Structure 1
Amino acid sequence: MYFGHFAVAVAIKAKEPKVPTLPIFIGVCFLDILNAFFILIGISRVSPNLEALPYLFYNLDYIDWDHSLTMALVWSFLWGASFLKDKKIALIAFLAAFSHFLIDWPMHNSDLALYPNSHLHFGLGLWGKMGIWAWVGEIFFSGILLIYAWQKSTTYRNNLKWQIIFLCLLASQLSPWLSPMKFAATLSEPYAHLMHAYLMFAGFLVPPGIFIWLDSLSKKEKKDPI
């Protein structure tokens, strides 16, 4: 999943409009931000594979310290605990972070361990089984969440138009044809895995900042209608 994580964040924010945006939108990305960092320092390992559809073009050889079930719970708990001054925000932050593992589960190709170095791995493998159609399925999944978010947002008159447009741009940008990961996978090592990590950082740090900005704009429009 990529843009599907942001669709989850939009839906959570629509359900809980009083919860700050940052715990939700960084939360849904937290495991992949850690993954990028762990790749850079050599804890997690990926390798280029131009056959790895629909848009990743890498094998996730070892991601146990950021994407195993046990560590996903640990990191999600720590993310939630960082907002413990408000128990509701802490709970939403935890759920946002752990949602990442839950919606990765059907997509990943049996590379989600039970715990670091466990022989038991999860992942229904829709990426490998469906190829490009897995990207289409992610669009439908995101669309359902956005419809829910739109309906919820009408109760407090918050306009999600720009958030939805931006999410559509993300879905297009990480399509099987435009994904920057495909270019990165053509590089020789060590540049291939380093570029993968840098793109992960950009892909999971820049969009949350834009979503946070768009949310603040929608609130401003609500207070100061033209």
Structure 2
Amino acid sequence: MFIGHFGLGLAARRAAPRPSLGTLLLAAQFVDLLWPTMLLLGLEQVAIEPGATRMTPLHFVAYPYTHSLLAVVGWGFLFGAVYAWMRQDRRGAVVLGLLVVSHWVLDLLVHRPDLPLYPGGPRVGLGLWNLPAVALPLELLLYVAGVWLYVAATRARDRTGRWAFWSLVGFLLLVHLNNLTGPPPPDPVALAWFAQLQWLFIPWAYWIDAHRDNRP
């Protein structure tokens, strides 16, 4: 899952009006932002296997520190605790912590059984990546709903707030389309470096939010 995570981050603005959109998207994508660094350090492993599922050629060999349920719950608690300490916003902290954990829940829907419950533990996954007729509309629905809820919760302060937001919405859709139709990565190292580009969406989102206000 890709844009579905961003959709949930956008939607969370209704529940937590104080955190910036950048912080919300950082929470929603947190484990996927850590994952490429873990690959480069050799702490986690992925293989490129076209046909691994009908929607992705990635075979997730091992990712206990970013994608096991136990680890994700720990990251969520840490993320929420740091935000609460910095901003004194308990409600926002709870929403951000849940957003981190939501990443595992959404991945559970689409991954084949490769998500560990804890490092070295049983692996689970419902495998919707092998049912594109279900997975594609589901993810698009999550994204569209998130965009709608964010727009309903905020308003542009100026033209930058309007066009920077809609350009991000469109760009994420283009990246999602490329993920679905583009050629597989040549090797795990190239994949890891390319995946690091996801970090660029976070300052983009902070920039957007600096030009938007919460609706009364």
Same fold (TM over 0.5): yes
Question: Does the 8 Å contact 1:29/1:97 carry over to 2?
Answer: yes
- Structure 1: which amino acid aligns with 2:98? L
Partner of 2:194: 199
Deviation at 1:51, TM superposition (A): 2.3
Partner of 1:124: 126
Distance 2:16 2:145 in 1: 18
Question: Does the 8 Å contact 2:4/2:140 carry over to 1?
Answer: yes
Identity %: 22
Deviation at 1:20, TM superposition (A): 3.1
- Pairing partner for 2:211 from 217, 222, 226: 217
- Structure 2: which amino acid aligns with 1:88? R
- Structure 2: which amino acid aligns with 1:208? I
1:140-155 to 2 correspondences below 5 Å: 140-153=141-154
Partner of 2:100: 97
RMSD, aligned α-carbons: 2.6
Distance 2:120 2:18 in 1: 40
Deviation at 1:181, TM superposition (A): 9.2
Partner of 2:11: 11
**1:15-46 deviations in whole A, cap 9, x for unaligned?**
32222334312111111122111111111111
**1:2-22 deviations in whole A, cap 9, x for unaligned?**
111111111112332222334
Uncovered stretches (5+) of structure 2, i.e. residues with no partner: none
Question: Does the 8 Å contact 1:79/1:94 carry over to 2?
Answer: yes
Partner of 1:173: 175
Taking structure 1 as the reference length, what is the TM-score of the superposition?
0.80
Which secondary structure state, in structure 1, belongs to the residue aligned with residue 83 of structure 2? Answer: coil
Number of residue pairs aligned between Structure 1 and Structure 2: 208
Question: Does the 8 Å contact 1:81/1:90 carry over to 2?
Answer: yes
Partner of 2:51: 51
Uncovered stretches (5+) of structure 1, i.e. residues with no partner: none
Partner of 1:66: 66
Deviation at 1:161, TM superposition (A): 5.0
